[in-house]
A and B are shown apart, each in its own frame.
Chain A
């Protein structure tokens, strides 16, 4: 158990809809990361937060947004969903944003019908 909790585990929705994925980081971790893993591909870095502030951005679409709340949990909002957004979305956390291992949740599987 990594200590990182992601909800929901599975989400099925339709094109054009909006969803929110939630992540609770490991206790004591201030930095949260979001990744997207499409079928048989590597993890694509989306965005990083540190203590409530956006720290780094990767290949995150404009239709996607995220935030980290004062209690350090984070939410990833995906809107105007398209079929290609179907993927596994992972959240990870670390103590701070320096080079160090990240602890991953088990992911949210998003299926767009």
Chain B
């Protein structure tokens, strides 16, 4: 049972437009969500996160939205740049300092291609 799902394996957008990457989760115990970006031959790099007590978090061109009732989060990149082309992973973890904390569950990733 995959608890974190990224249903779109790939997404292609034009430079300057908005990229929207989606992620769904099933475990209501998750209370912390993260997005990572991964370039080929490198490890994932943290991008942005959101706690379940918020519904939006912004950092420059990156905004993450959380809809707890729908168990859905999305990452918006605006405007998109060719350097944003990478694999984006959604991850979820739960519970402060309990045994679920830090135990991130990852989605399978979405490959974003930004065309010049």
**Are B101 and A98 in contact (CB-based, < 8 A)?**
yes
Chain A interface: which size bin?
20 to 34
**Are B44 and A100 in contact (CB-based, < 8 A)?**
no
A103 within 8 A of B: yes
Which residues on the A side are within 8 Å of B46 (C-beta)? 101-103
Looking at A13-21, A39-47, A61-69, A72-80, the stretch in contact with chain B turns out to be A39-47
Main secondary structure of the interface of B (DSSP, over half): loop
Chain B interface: which size bin?
20 to 34
Main secondary structure of the interface of A (DSSP, over half): loop
| Chain A-chain B contacts (Cβ-Cβ < 8 Å), number | 75
B60 within 8 A of A: no
Closest 7 CB pairs of A and B: A104-B43, A99-B32, A101-B46, A42-B108, A97-B102, A43-B106, A42-B106
Chain B interface (Cβ within 8 Å of chain A)?
Answer: 4, 6, 31-32, 34, 36, 41-46, 49, 51, 89, 91, 93-97, 99-109
